[in-house]
Amino acid sequence: MSLTLDTARTVISGARAKGREAGLKPLTVVVLDAGGHVVAVEREDGASNKRFEIAFGKAHGALSLGMGSRALMERAEQQPYFIAAVTNAVGGSLVPVPGGVLVKDAEGALLGAVGITGDTSDNDELAAVSGIEGAGLVAQPGA
């Protein structure tokens, strides 16, 4: 596992604090390791049923193609059939809107990804970046 549970919890804590500070709707935060596997999740009270699946899809999509999910959205705007095809090819879960952010260390090594859903996609991304940077790591929300 390239990202420890303690780090994941720090990222989640920071992202949720940012959400509260900015008055966002209930957030669901998923942290995956570099292999795309779940390390930690928290779904805030009042979030709807499938928010884990959506947040997972943002982070999983980001890791699948090696770019933040904002870049996936840009590609989806240009070539929706490409994103649909890749979603299928990678086994299903890829949500191409902002809020799926790669996590790297200071040297640029990939550690994992964070996916957030609950408010607007832009705000979801804001909370993710805040959580990652608060843990002393580098956030890559786009290409």
Question: Which residues would be at the binding site for a copy of itself (CB under 8 A)?
Answer: 1-2, 4-5, 9, 33-50, 52-54, 56-57, 61, 63-67, 73, 76-77, 79-97
Give CA–CA dist 55/81, Å, rounded. 22
Count other Cβ atoms within 10 Å, centred on residue 84: 13
User: Could you tell me the smallest distance in angstroms from the CB atom of residue 127 to a copy of itself?
Assistant: 15
Of how many residues is the chain composed?
143
User: Could you tell me the smallest distance in angstroms from the CB atom of residue 132 to a copy of itself?
Assistant: 18
Nearer to a copy of itself, 59 or 132 (CB): 59
How far lies 22's CA from each of 25, 28, 77, 90, 108, in Å? Answer: 9, 15, 28, 34, 29
Nearer to a copy of itself, 79 or 105 (CB): 79
